[in-house]
Chains A and B, each alone.
Chain A
Amino acid sequence: MKCDEVRENLAAHLDGEIEGASRRAVDEHLAACPACAEELRASEATWRLLDLIEAPPAPAGFDARLRARIGDAPRGRLLRMPLPAAAAAAAILAAVGLLALRAREGGEPPAADAPPVPVLEDLALLESLEVLQAGEAEALDRLDDFGEDDLAVLGG
């Protein structure tokens, strides 16, 4: 095994990701090549320096804030419905829309001052239906996106 190939495998060697004959070949090269052995030592020392970057555990109150955020997540009424209710609501909306369309096609074009076809007004009626009040399963949420030697290395 040549130096270039060994150096491409040093990280995997240190991470315990190569085994068997490949690992033995790297070990044999390292035993005979001071330059690659020094590379290994330096890489190992650099990696240990990363221990200096600590991170605290999640702050107190994390769960409560998460729970509040789940409760506050902006979702429309339709998105809070379980799937059967949502499907029923979608069917009613479609039927209302279709009726409105037919009414429009079957008659004279509406005059400019004619009242609007009451599709949107029917949403209030829909919201009053019992089926829309059931549960918090957010079935339609599926539509959402889902996305001290070591110091020597530094001369310290």
Chain B
Amino acid sequence: MVDPDAALMDAFRRGDESAFEQLVGRHRDRVYRLACRYLGDATAAEDLAQEAFLRVYRARTTWRPEAKFSTWLYRVTANACLNELRARRARRAVEATAPAAPGDGPAPEAADAAAVDPREAAQRAETAARVRAAVAGLPDDQRMAVILSKYEGLSYRELADAMERSVPAVKSLLVRARENLRKSLEDGR
């Protein structure tokens, strides 16, 4: 089956700038959501999502359809996320006493505008915060595996390609991640 994204990338390589715009249109939301969930920071997520597309733009002459375009894009985004986290940790180590930057706030809450019962909404928000904290507390690679599996629906094979791991390694990551999430949420009762 022909990967429509690969056809667009090929057209882009041959100079069709509109093909790049179509690729952005097809993938911008998932790239942004992945970054948003991973970093927990909407401002940084947009910056990172744009960085991922900049890499696509620059890679048009070197990209080869060895994997599905979307899997490659997930890999680019995942690597950018991991690099951003490392950079943040390095900055925090240096600025340990500085106040938190505005962009370091949590990701947007789950939309609750439709909830009619304020108590239920409050409880839901509290639970969401605990779940988000549990995910944020996972080791980097487990968190990425969870996000790509749970929210992006990647198979273990696709996860392995996106994370540059073996399928058994991905399987093990998800076993550990589920255990850690459950323990973290139970401990937080």
Interface string of B6-25 (1 = CB under 8 A from A): 00000000010000010011
Does any Cβ of B come within 8 Å of A66's Cβ?
yes
> Whole-angstrom distance between the alpha carbons of A54 and B132 in the complex?
10
Does any Cβ of B come within 8 Å of A96's Cβ?
no
B49 touches A56 (CB 8 A): no
A49 touches B59 (CB 8 A): no
A103-141 with Cβ < 8 A to chain B? 137-139, 141
How many A-B residue pairs have C-beta atoms within 8 angstroms? Tell me: 131
Known contacts A11-B178, A17-B171, A58-B28: A49-B50 contact under CB 8 Å: no
A65 touches B55 (CB 8 A): no
CB proximity of A151 to chain B, nearest CB, Å = 6
Does any Cβ of B come within 8 Å of A149's Cβ?
no
Complex interface: stretch among A20-28, A29-37, A40-48, A87-95: A40-48
> Whole-angstrom distance between the alpha carbons of A57 and B34 in the complex?
10
B127 touches A138 (CB 8 A): no
Task: Select from chain A the residue with minimum beta-carbon distance to B24.
Answer: A63
Does any Cβ of A come within 8 Å of B182's Cβ?
yes
Main secondary structure of the interface of A (DSSP, over half): helix
Interface string of B138-182 (1 = CB under 8 A from A): 000000001001110001100000000000000100110010011
CB proximity of A67 to chain B, nearest CB, Å = 8
> Whole-angstrom distance between the alpha carbons of A155 and B126 in the complex?
12
> Whole-angstrom distance between the alpha carbons of A57 and B32 in the complex?
7
Selected contact of B110 from candidates A15, A54, A155, CB within 8 Å:
A54
For A139, the chain B residues whose CB sits under 8 A away are: 61
A66 touches B50 (CB 8 A): yes
Task: Select from chain B the residue with minimum beta-carbon distance to A75.
Answer: B58
Does any Cβ of B come within 8 Å of A102's Cβ?
no
Does any Cβ of A come within 8 Å of B54's Cβ?
yes
Task: Select from chain A the residue with minimum beta-carbon distance to B155.
Answer: A17
CB proximity of A55 to chain B, nearest CB, Å = 4
> Which 8 A-B pairs rank lowest in CB-CB distance, beginning with the nearest?
A58-B32, A52-B128, A55-B33, A155-B189, A54-B110, A55-B36, A57-B29, A141-B58
A52 touches B171 (CB 8 A): no
